[in-house]
A and B are shown apart, each in its own frame.
Chain A
Amino acid sequence: MQDFEYTAPTSLEGVIGLLSETWGETEIYAGGTDLVTCLKQGLTAPRRVVSLRNVKELKGITILDDSIEIGAATTLTTLLGNAELAKHATALIQAIEGINSKQMINVGTLGGDLCQRPRCWFYRNGYGLFGIEDGKSLIEDGDNRYHAIFGNDGPAKFVSASSTGPALIALGASLIVSGPEGERTIAAWDFFQTPQSESDRETALKSNEVLTKIIIPKNETQSATYEIRHRAGLDWPYVTASVAIGKEGTKVVLGHVAPTPWVSDAAGKALNGRVKKADAEKAGEVAAEGATPLSQNAYKVAMVKTAVKRAVLRATGQEEEA
C-alpha cells in the first residue's frame, strides 16, 4: 500500500476542497469497510484520503412532512433503528437487514454502501474493472457464476454490489451531491452508471463531489426487499428484488444482476397494483425476460423470478411460511 495523507476535515466545504479533479488521486473514507479493502488490494493508490468522520452535517436522519432525509455518512445501524424508515422505507430496511453483520453495519454508511466498488473477483484480483488479460475478457469464458445477466453487452460484466441501491430506486429516492460548483439532485436511478472504460466509476459522482443526502419521499407505499442468500452470516446475495407498490404505480428493481441496479419497468407494469399470488408470479416471469446470461449464470434467471414474486408477496403481507 502506498503512503497517503489522511485528512479529516470538520465541514463539507473542507471535504470538497481536499478532493482532486482526477479519480484515484484522492478517495473519500466514510466507514472504510470497502475503501480500506480497496487500498489493501491495490485497486486504488490515492495520495490523500479524506475522511467524513468529523463532518456532522453528513450524519443523521431528518423527518420532514413529505420526506425523510438521510445524511450520507449515517451508519446503517442508525437507519435500522428508525421507526419512520421502517414504515415508509421498508424495502430499504430489509435490504440493510440482509447485510447481516453487526460489525459491518455499525461502521458502514448508506453513502458508502451506494458508492462501494464492485466485488467482481477478477477486478479484486487485479485484472481491472472489466477483467481483461492480454486484451481478452477473462470473464466471458471464465468463472462468471456471480456476474451480470442483464446489461452485460458492454465491457462491464460485474454486478453492482449495493443492495440498498435497488431499494432506494424502488422507493423513488433522490440523492444530493455537492461539489465545487455547488449542489445537484440526482434521481436514485440516474445515480448508478455502467462504466464504459476502465477508468470510469460506477456512479454519476465526479471525483471532487460528495454524496451528501439521500431523500426518500413519504409516499403511501407498500415496499419490500427479497434477497436470495445462502450463508447466514456476512455475505453477498445472489439476486435481490426490491418492490414498491403505491398510488403512482409499482416499481420493481433487481439487485446483483447487472452493473447497476436493474429496473424492470415491464414487471412494474405487469403488476400495476395487482398483487395476487398469480400476479406476483407473472411479474417474476416478466422481470426475467430479456436476460442475457453468461456461460455459467443462467441459474440467476430462475432466481429473478423467485425474488420478484416473493418481494411482491412480502410487500403485501402474503409471504409464505417456509
Chain B
Amino acid sequence: MASPQWPKADKRLHIGKPYDRLDGPIKSTGQAKYAYDVNVPGMLYAKVFPSRYALADVNSIDTSAAEAMDGVKAVWIDEGVLGKEVRYVGQIIAAVAAETEELAAEAIALVKVDYTPKEALIIDTDPSLGSGRPSEREEGTPAEAFEAADVVHEGYYGIPVITHCCFEAHGQVCDVNEAGAQFWPSTQNVSKYANGMGESLGVPESEIKVDCQVMGGGFGSKFGHDKWGVVGGLLSKKAGRPVKLMLERDLELMVGGNRPSAYGTVKVGADKDGNVTAIDAKLFGTGGNGGYRPPPVPYVFTKIPNQLSSGQRIQTNRGGQRAWRAPGHPQGCFITMAAMEDTAAKLGMDALDFFKQNLALTNRPELYAQELDIAADMIGYKEKAHLRGDSGDGPVKRGLGISIHQWGGAGHPSECDVSIHADGSVECRIGTQDLGVGTRTCVTMVLAETMGLPMDAVKANIGNNAYPISGASGGSTTIGGVSSSTRLAATAALNKLLDVVAARMGEDALSLEASNGRIQVTGDDSKSVTWNEACAMLGTNSINERGVNEPGESTKMGLMDSGVGGCQMADVSVDIETGVVTINEMVAVQDCGLIIDMKTATTQVHGGLIMGVTYALFEECVYDNRTGRMLNADMEFYRLAGLKDIGTLKVHMMTGPGFDERGVIGLGEPPVISPGAAISNAVANAIGLRVPELPLTPDRVLNAIAKGGQS
C-alpha cells in the first residue's frame, strides 16, 4: 500500500531534484499559445475607449459614427457611467469590435464623449488630503518607552505606487453565443474565472468554458474576469463572432492594477546595547480609487514591546490597486528594515549585529539567525562590511544592506483527478494554472513520483475549468495546494491498482509498492510485474480517483505547512557624483519546507530578486498632478531592470532535516519582499545617509546627498 506521506529523502525519485520546466521549450521557441496568440476563425478585434479625465461627469457617449463604420460589428457603452462619474484616466467607457485591429482603433477615435471635468485628487504624498479616519493601533506603553529609550531615531520613508507590469497584458479571446461561451483569458484563476460572469453575459455559468494553458505573468493582478472580460463577452455575443480584447501597454499600466504607495515617519527607540524597545509609525498612502490598507509596521520584528501605528488612506483619482506579490509586505519591510538600520547607524552598531541582537522580537529567531549567518558567508560580510558611511575616499562608495521577511504560504483547497489506464498511461486533471512558475512541472513530478515512473510516462492536464476545481494562484498558495491534491489522488489511484495486482499475484496489497516502473513486493523486485503488465490487468477498466486537499487535514498529515522566513543581503556601489546606484551582488536565503523542483524553486527566488531590484532602482508610476494621466505608461519610462542591471544573484534554499518534514510551502511571494529594504540599506551604508524614497534613481540619490540626509 502506498501512503500519501511524502517519501523520505533516500526514497525520492524526482522530488527535490532540479528539473527544467516542461513547457520551457514551447515557450522559448514561440510555440506556446498565450491568450494574445489565440486566433480563432471569424475573430474580431476589440478596442476600448478610455476616459481622458481623472474625474468628470459623463454627460453623453456618442458612438453613432463608430457604429456606422464599415467593418465595425459591435459597440458597447458603459451605461453605468452615463450620467454619472468617471473616476480615473483610463476608465473604460465604451468599446468596439471590428474586422481588424486598425479598424477598431479608427472606430474608437470616432467615439465622442461629453464630459464635465471636475477637480481630481492625484497626488498621494500629502497626508492632510486623506479621506476617513486613520486606522490606529497601540500596544504596550510607547510614550513611556520612548521616554526611557537611550536612543531615538526618527525618519521619513516612502515607496511609490508601482504596477504589476505583466509582460502579457490583461485580456482574453472569447466566443459567446446562445449555446454557451468559451474564454481564453490570461488568468491566475482558471477554475473560478467565470464566477459572477453568467448574469452579465446572460449565459449559465456552467456553460462558460475557460482555458489558459500558459500565461505571461499576473503577480496578483489577474484573479477576476474584469470589466474587459465582460465587455469582450458582450461584444462577442452582439456580433455573433469571437472577439479578442487585450489591453494595450498604456492601459495595462494605468488600469490593470497597481501596488499601493506607503509613506510616513517612523520613530524607533532602543537602549544603548541595541535592543529595540519601541516603535511609532505614522503612515499614509494610496491604492488609487481602490481600497487601502497601511502596510504592516513593524514588520517581522512584530514583538517590539511598545508600538504605536496609524495609517491614513488617500483616495486618489487613479486606477485601483490590486494584490501585488505579497500585498503590503514589500512596503512594510522597506519601512521597518530601513528604520531599523538607521537606528543601528545612530547607535554606531554594525547592522548585522543589530539585526541579530533583536531577533527575539521575531517569530522565528533561530531560523533567521541561521539564515543571516549563511547569507553573511555568501556575500563575504566579514571582509566587506563597514559602519555606515565608512567607505573610503573616491566618488564610488560601496555598501552592504540586510533585510529579513516572512510569509505564510499554506496551500489552497484543491481537487485533482488521477486516472490510470489499461495501456499503462497515467494522467491527472486539475483546474490549476501555470503562471510561468513551473506548476505544470511540479504537478507532473508529484504524479510521477507517486507512481514510481519516469516524468514522460505521466501527463498533467491543467489550465481548464472542466477539470476539478483548484484555487487561484495567489499568495503562494498554489504549490502546497496542487502538490497535496495530486499526491492524494495519485496515491488513491495507485492503491486501487495495487489491489488489482495483489489479487492477481496472490500477494497482500499492503505489501506492494510502485518502484522504478514496477509493482513489487516492497523491497523485493524478484516478486514484481512491470507497470504496463500491472495496468493491463485492468482489462477494459481504468482507475479514476479524486484527491481533495483540505488544508487543515493535509497540514496535519505533513503534506503541507505554512510560515516561512527569508533573509537577503545586497552589495551595491553608489557613485556620489552621478547618483547612480549599481547592484554588485544580491544573496537570498529562503526556506519553503519540502521543495518539489529545486530548479523552479531557485529560479522563483531569482525572479523575486530581479523584480525586487527593479522596484528598488527603477519602477514608479509617474502621474501628472493636474490631468491625472500616468506620464510613463509605456516601457520606455516605466523602467524595468535588464540583465546588466541586476548584478550577481546567489540563492540558497534551506532544505533537509527541519525543513523537508514540514511538507510543501509556497514560495511565490517571499523572495520579492526584501530587495527594496536590503538595497536601500546598502545604499545608506555606502553613502552615509538614507535616501528616503524608493526607487533609488540618480535624482533621488543626488537630492538626498545635497540635503545631507534627514535629521
Chain A positions within 8 Å of B, measured between CB atoms, are 1, 119, 121-122, 124-125, 127, 133, 136, 138, 141-143, 145, 228-233, 235, 238, 296-300, 302-303, 305-306, 320, 322
Contact across chains for B624 and A143 when beta carbons are under 8 A apart: yes
Q: Is B702 an interface residue (CB 8 A)?
A: yes
Q: Which residue of A lies closest to B250 (CB)?
A: A125
- Chain A interface main SS type: loop
Contact across chains for A143 and B702 when beta carbons are under 8 A apart: no
Q: Which residue of A lies closest to B701 (CB)?
A: A299
Please indicate the chain B residues that have their CB under 8 angstroms from the CB of A138 in the complex.
Answer: 624, 626-627
A306-B577, A320-B395, A322-B573 given; A299·B626 CB < 8 A: no
A119-B636, A302-B702, A322-B396 given; A230·B627 CB < 8 A: no
Q: Which residue of A lies closest to B614 (CB)?
A: A231
Contact across chains for B626 and A133 when beta carbons are under 8 A apart: yes
Q: Is B481 an interface residue (CB 8 A)?
A: no
The digit string for B95-111, where 1 denotes a CB below 8 A from any CB of A, is 00000001001000000
Ranked nearest first, the 8 interchain pairs of A and B with the lowest CB-CB distance are A232-B644, A233-B642, A299-B702, A306-B577, A121-B631, A299-B699, A228-B578, A322-B396
Chain B positions within 8 Å of A, measured between CB atoms, are 102, 105, 394-396, 573, 575, 577-581, 617-618, 622-627, 629, 631-632, 634, 636-637, 639, 641-645, 697-699, 702-703, 706
Extra pairs beyond A142-B624, A232-B644 (16, CB < 8 Å): A122-B631, A125-B631, A228-B578, A228-B698, A230-B639, A231-B618, A231-B641, A238-B578, A298-B703, A298-B706, A299-B702, A299-B703, A303-B578, A305-B577, A306-B578, A322-B394
A233-B644, A306-B578 given; A145·B699 CB < 8 A: yes
Please indicate the chain A residues that have their CB under 8 angstroms from the CB of B639 in the complex.
Answer: 230-231, 235
Contact across chains for B575 and A121 when beta carbons are under 8 A apart: no
- How far apart are the CA atoms of A145 and B698 in the complex, in Å? 11
- How far apart are the CA atoms of A235 and B575 in the complex, in Å? 19
Please indicate the chain A residues that have their CB under 8 angstroms from the CB of B578 in the complex.
Answer: 228, 238, 303, 306
Please indicate the chain B residues that have their CB under 8 angstroms from the CB of A145 in the complex.
Answer: 699
- How far apart are the CA atoms of A201 and B573 in the complex, in Å? 41
- How far apart are the CA atoms of A230 and B643 in the complex, in Å? 13
Taking the closest CB of chain A, its distance from the CB of B683, in whole angstroms, is: 13
Taking the closest CB of chain B, its distance from the CB of A237, in whole angstroms, is: 10
Please indicate the chain B residues that have their CB under 8 angstroms from the CB of A306 in the complex.
Answer: 577-578
Please indicate the chain A residues that have their CB under 8 angstroms from the CB of B637 in the complex.
Answer: 121
Contact across chains for B699 and A231 when beta carbons are under 8 A apart: no
Q: Which residue of B lies closest to A142 (CB)?
A: B624
- How far apart are the CA atoms of A269 and B702 in the complex, in Å? 28
A229-B580, A299-B579 given; A143·B395 CB < 8 A: no
Please indicate the chain B residues that have their CB under 8 angstroms from the CB of A238 in the complex.
Answer: 578, 698-699
Please indicate the chain A residues that have their CB under 8 angstroms from the CB of B626 in the complex.
Answer: 133, 136, 138, 142
- How far apart are the CA atoms of A228 and B699 in the complex, in Å? 11
Q: Which residue of A lies closest to B697 (CB)?
A: A230
- How far apart are the CA atoms of A238 and B573 in the complex, in Å? 19
Contact across chains for A230 and B625 when beta carbons are under 8 A apart: no
Taking the closest CB of chain A, its distance from the CB of B45, in whole angstroms, is: 14
- How far apart are the CA atoms of A136 and B575 in the complex, in Å? 38
Taking the closest CB of chain B, its distance from the CB of A291, in whole angstroms, is: 14
Taking the closest CB of chain B, its distance from the CB of A284, in whole angstroms, is: 10
Please indicate the chain A residues that have their CB under 8 angstroms from the CB of B577 in the complex.
Answer: 302, 305-306
Contact across chains for A231 and B105 when beta carbons are under 8 A apart: no
Contact across chains for A122 and B624 when beta carbons are under 8 A apart: yes
